[in-house]
A and B are shown apart, each in its own frame.
Chain A
């Protein structure tokens, strides 16, 4: 198996085919748009935050397998987390997709995205939903843009 096939392992293919939490939340407390103008990837992230806990999280949009799987995995990872934990996870994922380094205990299932660092042009795909989520938490009205 080559590096590319390793990256596109079963988890990524599975989340691309069957994205989790792939719908709109009716009345989210937080939401943001993400766009990669170079690829055309577009995602919306929706969150409901109650007492500092992410009680609902979902996404809609379209993009490549990496960006879609990253969005899907992100929604699974963040459900039930506090806002501070979500922000910490953003930093860990950001570091992992750019360097390949991650602590298995902290990162869990998201480790499947670590191979992205070997394909620098695809880092933006993996990180787009995370930037979008961060903008939603910051209540930023700006579209998150990675290119």
Chain B
């Protein structure tokens, strides 16, 4: 097992003072270390003020902290320019921002948007609505039943009509890590804009936007130890510059007259109203926490947990794991236990203090492909342990024998 100082890490998370909690739902949202909670509390207690306007000490301190969080996040994904980092409410809002401010303004009948059958609903529905309004055709890269993308027809799917390709980096259902660089390269050949939903990948692995050379990328703070209601839209500066605002109001304008307004520079143009100051500061603290341990070390540790979890789960009779047959996968495992509906199973696991997700995971096209109505999903993060996997397996066996 790859080493992290797991006792030290767990002691940083107040929630784990409850020793009976086995939290295996980090793909939905993660718990917060005291460093993040304290950073938010410290802001509210000691230097709270609005940003970008106060000509007083507190306002300047708050602005500095807000800006430094943005720089911190830019560095984390190796963005060359902090102006590429737009703070949003989360991945969903980031996708909607591009669907409204880019897709609706730039696409027309005859154009095509390409996504995959593996997407979370948040990377399907905004494009469906945009496609409906603009008369654009929405196409899908199919998935195989083994949880990988079927790229055999990629040349036929990405054509001169393709104007936008939006893809999930790591599946929230299977854990599959998609070959996004390959797909981005295909998209570039036809000058399509590329959008990466990195909500599930960035918390667990090193993602470099310059290396990927994608046009847009989105992720959420709460899935990587940060607070809720904050996320990022990364966009290439020239694209962001060319776009109209998504929401309008204060803080996003240069000048306002009775008849017209001019827009502030990026990224502020997309951050109307009082921004998510406390959330950004908390998000920045989460990035610091991850950096202190090292994202590569976290990744290696999770990979070793994943290996153990797969081995142990496979030893349970009549337990079917979806995906994880080939290629690279994150520490997310969806499965079903023969004869026990996922909702019943999740309820029994909960009795043993084990929190897993049961349902369609906001990915109904995948469930249809697998011909199941729901699955159980166990997802891991830096605070999980091998002992927790043993307890999960014991609880699964116990429930199985109760039902049969």
A interface with B by C-beta (< 8 Å):
2, 4-5, 8, 13, 38-42, 62-66, 68, 119, 122, 125
Query: Known interface pairs A2-B351, A5-B402, A42-B373. Does A64 touch B344 (Cβ–Cβ under 8 Å)?
Result: yes
Can you add 9 more A-B contacts, CB < 8 Å, to A63-B373, A64-B341? A5-B402, A39-B343, A39-B358, A39-B374, A40-B367, A40-B374, A64-B342, A65-B403, A119-B347
- In the complex, what residues of A have CB within 8 A of residue B342's CB? 64
| Residue pair A66, B344 in contact (C-beta under 8 Å) | yes
Question: Which residue numbers of B lie inside 8 Å of A, CB to CB?
Answer: 340-344, 347-348, 351, 358-360, 364, 367, 373-374, 402-403
How far apart are B374's CB and chain A's nearest CB, in angstroms?
5
Q: How far is the CA of A125 from the CA of B315 in the complex (A)?
A: 31
Q: Tell me, rounded to whole Å, the shortest Cβ–Cβ distance linking A32 to chain B.
A: 19
Give Cα A2–Cα B402 distance, bound, in whole angstroms.
13
Are B373 and A4 closer than 8 Å at their CB atoms? no
A-B pairs with beta carbons under 8 Å apart, 22 shown: A2-B351, A4-B351, A5-B402, A8-B344, A8-B402, A8-B403, A39-B374, A40-B359, A40-B360, A40-B367, A40-B373, A40-B374, A41-B343, A41-B373, A42-B373, A63-B341, A64-B341, A64-B342, A65-B403, A66-B343, A119-B347, A122-B347
Give the docked Cα–Cα distance between A64 and B403 (Å).
12
List residues of chain A with CB within 8 A of the CB of B348.
Answer: 4
Instruction: Give chain A residues whose Cβ lies under 8 Å from the Cβ of B340.
Output: 65
Q: Which residues of A contact B403 (CB under 8 A)?
A: 8, 13, 65
CB distance from B14 to the nearest CB of A (A): 25
Docked Cα-Cα span, A65 to B343, in Å, equals 8
Within the complex, the shortest CB–CB distance from B361 to chain A, in Å, comes to: 10
Q: Please, how many angstroms separate the alpha-carbon atoms of A66 and B403 in the complex?
A: 13
- For the complex, would chain B's binding face be called helix, strand, loop or mixed by DSSP majority? helix
Top-6 shortest CB links A-B? A40-B373, A64-B341, A64-B343, A65-B344, A40-B374, A64-B344
CA–CA, A119 and B343, complex, Å? 12
Q: Which residue of A lies closest to B342 (CB)?
A: A64
Are B402's CB and A125's CB within 8 A? no
Dominant secondary structure of chain A at its interface with chain B: mixed
A68 to B359, CA, bound (A): 16
Closest Cβ of chain A to B367, distance in Å, is 7
Chain A minimum-CB-distance residue to B339: A17
User: Which residues of chain B are within 8 angstroms of A4 by Cβ–Cβ distance?
Assistant: 347-348, 351
- Tell me, rounded to whole Å, the shortest Cβ–Cβ distance linking B50 to chain A: 38
Residues of the A chain whose Cβ atoms lie less than 8 Å from the Cβ of B358: 39
Residue of A nearest to B367 (CB): A40
Output the least CB separation between B117 and chain A (Å). Answer: 17
A125 to B359, CA, bound (A): 13
B343 touches A125 (CB 8 A): yes
Nearest CB of A to B161, in Å: 33
When C-beta atoms are compared, the residue in chain A nearest to B345 turns out to be: A64
- With the chains together, A122 CA to B343 CA distance in Å? 9
**In the complex, what's the smallest C-beta–C-beta distance from A81 to chain B, in angstroms?**
28
List the B side residues contacting A68 at CB < 8 Å: 341
Distance, CA A87 to CA B348, complexed state (A) = 33
Q: By CB atoms of chain A within 10 A, which of B347, B364, B367 has the most?
A: B347
Residue of B nearest to A3 (CB): B351
Question: What separation, in Å, do the CA atoms of A5 and B360 have in the docked complex?
Answer: 25
State in angstroms the CA–CA spacing of A38 and B228 once bound together.
21
**A2 — nearest CB in chain B belongs to which residue?**
B351
- A38 contacts across to B, CB distance below 8 A: 359
Closest to B373 in A: A40
Inter-subunit contact B351/A39 (CB<8 Å): no
| A38–chain B nearest beta-carbon distance, Å | 7
Task: Give the distance to chain A from B400, nearest Cβ to Cβ, in Å.
Answer: 13
Min CB distance A53 to B, Å, is: 33
